[in-house]
């Protein structure tokens, strides 16, 4: 399973894809550079929660292939989980504004 430390943060697969303007692999590069996020690999898809994980070695959790996690020290470096949730909201808003086949514009968003 994926060992998550207490205070880690997980970006959902849709946010990962949106960060790459519709490309999961491109989004992984963006989130790795911006937040030192690490990709989650395993069975299933981006919403299946098929990958076993644990939080702090004690609490069972489930994550999905295509999601990414940020270690606690990188969460702090980014300004805390609120900043990461803000980024996710920006991605959701960009996705809602996007028209099929067009660049969503998330890459042009100002950093929080």
Give the Å distances, CA to CA, from 84 to 3, 28, 58. 20, 15, 24
Task: Give, for all 112 residues of the chain, the pLDDT tens digit.
Answer: 777 888 999 999 989 999 998 888 999 999 999 999 999 988 777 767 788 887 777 788 888 889 999 999 999 999 999 999 999 999 888 877 775 344 555 555 545 4
Query: Is-contact 81 75, C-beta < 8 A?
Result: yes
Neighbours of 34 (CB within 10 A): 15
Where do we find the tokens 């849709």? 14
Longest dimension (CA), the chain: 43
- Beta strand 38-39 with 68-70 is antiparallel
What's the pTM? 0.80
């Amino acid at each position: 399973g994926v060992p998550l430390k207490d205070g880690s943060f997980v970006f959902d697969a849709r946010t990962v894809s949106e960060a790459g303007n519709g490309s999961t692999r491109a989004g992984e590069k963006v989130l790795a550079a911006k937040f030192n996020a690490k990709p989650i690999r395993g069975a299933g898809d981006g919403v299946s929660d098929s990958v076993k994980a644990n939080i702090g070695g004690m609490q069972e959790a489930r994550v999905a292939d295509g999601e990414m996690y940020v270690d606690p020290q990188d969460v702090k470096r980014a300004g805390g989980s609120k900043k990461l949730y803000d980024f996710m909201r920006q991605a959701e808003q960009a996705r809602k504004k996007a028209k099929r086949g067009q660049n969503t514009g998330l890459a042009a968003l100002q950093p929080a």
